[in-house]
Amino acid sequence: MVTRMALLIATVISMRAGGAEAVEEYHVKGAFLLNFAKFVEWPAQAFKDGSAPIEICILGDNPFGPGLNLAARQTVAANRPVSVRQVSEPEQAGQCQMVFVSASEKKRTRKLLEAVQGGSVLTVGESDGFLASGGVIDFKLDGERVRIEISTAAADRAKLRISAKLLSLAQSSRK
């Protein structure tokens, strides 16, 4: 299932992206986002009801194109469907379980993090200083490889439980 999903993301993104590097980078990041939904536990009050989806929101430019939406429709995590939607304002992010903050939104990162403060929102970024600003997960490029860094302190503040499997893949920080 994951392989099929990854291929779907890669195919749709490749139709949109200019270079192979961008395709590969956002293929991997998209797969990570979908898998975060499977390896993070949200408190019950983070959802409207027991059948509400895990909603992944994208703030800023959407480098995934429609591929992430298509793959999300085939994803179930914690007995919940997964959905993806675009948000234009940081204040809208409080209604999401996960928010990907595109690099295009670096200047509004602090505003977003303030808007979701006190809520159980998994914030995921790709800009320098994202964790230092209070984000939970940051994507880093290490040569051609996509790595993740996790702030366990930020996850604790958001009342999110991150599985040991996911933590083992990351560089962890207590920031």
- At residue 21, the pLDDT reads 58
How is residue 170 annotated by DSSP?
S
Low-confidence ranges of the chain (pLDDT < 50): 1-19
22-38 pLDDT, tens per residue?
668 998 999 999 999 99
- Four-residue CA torsion sign, 159, 162, 164, 167: negative
For the chain, the domains span 2-173
CATH code for residues 2-173: 3.40.50
Residues 6+ apart with CB under 8 A from 85: 55, 56, 57, 58, 96
CA distances 105 to 37, 63, 71, 163, Å, are 22, 12, 24, 28
Residues 6+ apart with CB under 8 A from 3: none
Work out the angle between the directed axes of helices 20-39 and 2-16 (0-180°, nearest 10): 140
- At residue 144, the pLDDT reads 84
Token pair belonging to 86: 């675009």
- At residue 65, the pLDDT reads 86
Residue type, 137: I
